[in-house]
Structure 1
Amino acid sequence: MTSCPITSRLRGGKQRARSEADKLAREQQILDAAAGLFARRRYSDLTLADVAAASGLTKAALYRYFRNKEVLFIAVYQRAFTELVADAKARAPLRLPDDLAGRLVAHPLFCSLSAILHVALETGLNDHEAKAFKGFLLAQSAELATLIQAASGKPPEACFAFLMRCQQALIGCWHMSHPPEVARRAMAHPPLDAFRMDFEPTLRAHLQALYDAFTTSSP
């Protein structure tokens, strides 16, 4: 008697994806689960076991795709960055700095992962992975810098430097506007509420100041 393909796959839990299409689909399933968990919980509170459970996989099966938590979330970040760049390109020509700020605000997963990229995610990479990831960052950043150049008429190196300053502002604004829960409670009432800030208006103000300096500088 021939077994049902679906039943065969589910027997004893989800089996290893066999074809390249299956592997890609399984990988996207894992990335979706990881992104969903990260949207609700802090990175430090997540484990691979959590992601495996949300993916419907065993932890051993998850390790066949991602060898540690950092590599997994680097992959989540890469997907988020690619989506951000595609979104920005679809809206070209950009109105600076408003469209740049708007695209960042519209992609909170990219923003939140950017904030921990250098202090958490990259710490788990080996030399080969780090070099490949930096190459990815360079390529995606160059795509955005090209859009900035088209909108501003500034030289490529100046546009890239402006983008890096925007990224630095993004990281700082995200941290300042997303404090730990205990700090958030402490700042709930005057006079400590002076330290509270909302991400979007804070980011927009920083990018506007950076853009003003960028446009008034010499070519």
Structure 2
Amino acid sequence: MTTSTYLRARSAEQKEERRRHLLDAARSLLLEIPDVHDLGINELARCAEMTKSNVYRYFESSEAVLLTVLVEEFMIWRTELRAALSRGRRRGTIEHIARAFSATVSARPLLCRLVSVFPSILERNVSAERMVGFKHGLLNIRNETALDFHNCMPSISASAFEKFIHQALPLLIGLWPLSNPGTVAAEVLARPDLAALRYDFRQDLEEGLLMLLRSRPS
């Protein structure tokens, strides 16, 4: 689609098409750039073949775009998690839940990249209205995921799983950058004498999730 086509768009369907096109362009850019901070409105407008003013009709900032992509990533992850929970010989155990959680999260690096910066970066330049929508989206996903866990393991209440997810989020936020250090830090951590300081995202996440589940109130 060309910029002129977007300028003529008027219907609700066309407006949603513009919005979807911008989000798809953002996803394409995020596959190319190493740092999500590098996604700006200029780059997004260029990739989407739209003017900056048109981009601003739908998103007030690049952070607003990234928050929307993040919610979509969470929704895709939840679908994949539900499928993973239904598989395996150890269904109905905390080990199965921790393994399914860590495996499906690890399989979505874009989700991990965005989660790791959303409280410190992505929430800093968006409107209150956008923030309310984002937070409600997160809350819905958390509550629905807690129900998925409860259905997998009925001996633990949905409310207990909600608290588990609440505590698991900071673990995910912290582990991703620790497991993906910069070039110099990675070279230093490759030294045998510093092996104890290395992190393996999937393995350490699974172990951390198990610790949370085992320490839950009875």
State the distance in 2 between where 1:139 and 1:163 align.
12
- 1:183 CA drift (Å): 2.3
Is 1:156 aligned with 2:158?
yes
- AA of the residue aligned to 1:38: L
The residue aligned with 1:6 is none
Unaligned runs of 5+ in 1: 1-8
Alpha carbon RMSD of aligned pairs, Å?
A: 2.3
CA offset digits 1:15-37 (Å, max 9, x no partner): 35333222222222211221232
Distance 1:56 1:186, change over 3 A: farther
Distance 1:113 1:61, change over 3 A: same
State the distance in 1 between where 2:176 and 2:68 align.
20
* 2:50 corresponds to which of 50, 57, 61: 57
Larger mean CA deviation between 93-102 and 172-181 belongs to: 93-102
1:15-26 alignment, distance < 5 Å: 15-26=7-18
**Aligned partners of 1:52 and 1:58 also within 8 Å:** yes
**Aligned partners of 1:33 and 1:54 also within 8 Å:** yes
The residue aligned with 1:207 is 209
Unaligned runs of 5+ in 2: none
- AA of the residue aligned to 1:178: N
Is 1:113 aligned with 2:114?
yes
Give the % identical residues: 28
Larger mean CA deviation between 146-155 and 184-193 belongs to: 184-193
If the length of structure 2 is used for normalisation, what is the TM-score?
A: 0.84
Is 1:35 aligned with 2:36?
no
State the distance in 1 between where 2:106 and 2:20 align.
23
Higher relative contact order (CA 8 A, sep 6+): 2
- AA of the residue aligned to 2:179: S
Distance 1:128 1:77, change over 3 A: same
Distance 1:104 1:16, change over 3 A: farther
- Secondary structure of the residue aligned to 2:60 is coil
- Secondary structure of the residue aligned to 2:124 is helix
The residue aligned with 1:48 is 41
The residue aligned with 1:5 is none
**Aligned partners of 2:168 and 2:209 also within 8 Å:** yes
The residue aligned with 2:179 is 177
CA offset digits 1:122-146 (Å, max 9, x no partner): 1112222222221111111101010
State the distance in 2 between where 1:16 and 1:187 align.
54
- 1:192 CA drift (Å): 3.8
**Aligned partners of 2:30 and 2:36 also within 8 Å:** yes
State the distance in 2 between where 1:13 and 1:170 align.
41
Q: Which has the larger radius of gyration?
A: 1
- AA of the residue aligned to 1:123: R
- AA of the residue aligned to 1:25: E
